């Protein structure tokens, strides 16, 4: 498809398990962002990738969170030893470049529920 694709759309797991969330950005988009949205609230920035540059990880809430982007395309967000407060919708977005005038294109998110 032409849009940002995220999988899985829903994930339910037990506290303490690790989870991997996947994002396929729009083809050719060099910038990729991860956000967390809790229960219809605003968006919390997590991490940003731009081309082959080192990612900005300043928004990751703890060392249990990590992300990578392989080949400048697909990205995975990994949460280790999940906690109940990790329950949220995780949104991925991409933009053509990282320039300030570029709008972001969002996927539909992964709804993560920690039991």
Partner 1 sequence: AQSVAQPEDQVNVAEGNPLTVKCTYSVSGNPYLFWYVQYPNRGLQFLLKYITGDNLVKGSYGFEAEFNKSQTSFHLKKPSALVSDSALYFCAVRDMNTGGFKTIFGAGTRLFVKA
Contact status, residue 19 vs residue 90, Cβ threshold 8 Å: no
Residue 99 binds to partner 1 (criterion: CB under 8 A): yes
Q: Which residues of 84-93 are buried (b: 16+ CB within 10 A; e: fewer)?
A: eebbbbbbbb
H/E run at residue 9: none
**Interface segment toward partner 1; rule CB under 8 A; list 14-22, 50-58, 61-69, 79-87:** 50-58
Element of type H or E holding 91: strand 88-95
Q: Using the rule CB under 8 A, is 93 a contact of partner 1?
A: yes
Tokens of 65: 């969170």
Nearer to partner 1, 1 or 40 (CB): 40
Candidates 14-22, 60-68, 79-87, 94-102 — which segment interacts with partner 1 by CB under 8 A?
94-102
Give SS3 for 22. strand
* Residue 4 lies near partner 1 (rule: CB under 8 A): yes
Q: Using the rule CB under 8 A, is 68 a contact of partner 1?
A: no
Residue 56 makes contact with partner 1 by CB under 8 A: yes
- Tell me if 36 sits within 8 A of 46, measured CB to CB: yes
Residues that bind partner 1 (CB under 8 A): 4, 31, 33, 40-43, 45, 48, 50, 56, 58-59, 91, 93, 98-101, 103-109
């Amino acid at each position: 498809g032409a849009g940002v694709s995220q999988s899985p759309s829903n994930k339910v797991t037990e506290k303490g398990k690790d989870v991997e969330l996947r994002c396929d950005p729009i083809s050719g988009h060099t910038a990729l962002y991860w956000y967390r949205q809790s229960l219809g609230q605003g968006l919390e920035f997590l991490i940003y990738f731009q081309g082959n540059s080192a990612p900005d990880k300043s928004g990751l809430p703890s060392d249990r969170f990590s992300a990578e982007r392989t080949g400048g395309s697909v990205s995975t967000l990994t949460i280790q030893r999940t906690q109940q407060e990790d329950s949220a919708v995780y949104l991925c977005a991409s933009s053509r470049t990282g320039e300030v005038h570029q709008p972001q294109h969002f996927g539909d998110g992964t709804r993560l529920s920690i039991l």
